[in-house]
Structure 1
């Protein structure tokens, strides 16, 4: 796993730079810069909107005595989506938008649940539940 992470860490910036170059050759350098800035501003606005909606829903579920499991996963996806949109680059922008749009976020939530379940099953992730007596 660490080998793949290191490889991804090295390849990702290279892919972003190649994306910048390709897009700037197609639409020009200034439109490319404006597009990157616009995507960051739009992403911050969308992340704030979706994040506040998730917080309101979580509060409502807690007030009704329910555990907001799905809303917590939504919040995690929204956090990572917002962070991805703040990082300059087209690949991160696409990933960030996919994490912020509710319909596509469902796919990422399903993958997260599957990944967490696998970690728990393999004993790599332990859940400790301490209840008061």
Structure 2
């Protein structure tokens, strides 16, 4: 979704949820509507507790290691998203949550999301370890550190007199 559509979506979703409350309330009554909302919250809390935050930590760890999160992480991640959608009061978010629990919908989402994953090699961050052969990191392996050691002749800074951020005052 484009970011320019985000404010429109953020405005229309609550209005659609309110309309859903009105429609369901007229069809089944106030008590049943409130019971459905509470049931959705309880179901979402149960799903979130079952999956927990551990799946988000696993996905983050795989992303940091440079591997693409696989399908085995997709199912628990979709459960977490569905749980959060169930916790949000409203029937449209509950319908989206139910759709996320269907395996065929998950497969469709995986096919569309997997194309957009970009895996970056964690070793190519633009920094390199020292090329001196005598350099060793704390682990004892040469070139194992991500520290760049610069000497005075490697880096020096000369002030730019034309810069507006130089030490000149405005009246000078």
Given the two structures, how large is their TM-score scaled by the length of structure 1?
Answer: 0.69
Which residue does the alignment assign to 1:96? 97
CA distance 1:23–1:97, shift in 2 (3 Å): same
- Structure 2, unpaired ranges of 5+: 59-67, 125-142, 145-172
1:74-93 alignment, distance < 5 Å: 74-93=75-94
RMSD over equivalenced CA pairs, Å? 3.0
Look at both structures and tell me which one has the larger radius of gyration over its CA atoms. 2
Residues 18-50 of structure 1: per-residue CA shift (max 9 Å, x gap):
00011101111111010111122123334545x
Q: Which residue of 1 aligns with 2:45?
A: 44
Change (3 A) 1:68 1:15: closer
Q: Secondary structure at the match of 2:122?
A: coil
Considering fraction of residues, name the structure with more helix. 1
Residue pair 2:79, 2:101 contacting (<8 A) in 1 also: yes
Number of equivalences:
115
Contact 1:78 1:100 in 2 (8 A): yes
- Does the aligned pair in 2 maintain the 1:43–1:97 contact within 8 Å? no
Task: Give the equivalent residue in structure 2 for 1:29.
Answer: 30
| Residue 127 of structure 1 pairs with residue 128 of structure 2 | no
CA apart distance, 1:68 = 6.4
The alpha-carbon distance between structure 1 residues 86 and 45, as it changes in their structure 2 partners (threshold 3 A), is same
Structure with bigger RCO (C-alpha 8 Å, 6+ apart)? 1
User: Structure 1: any 5+ residue segments left out of the alignment?
Assistant: 59-66, 121-125
TM-score, structure 2 normalization: 0.55
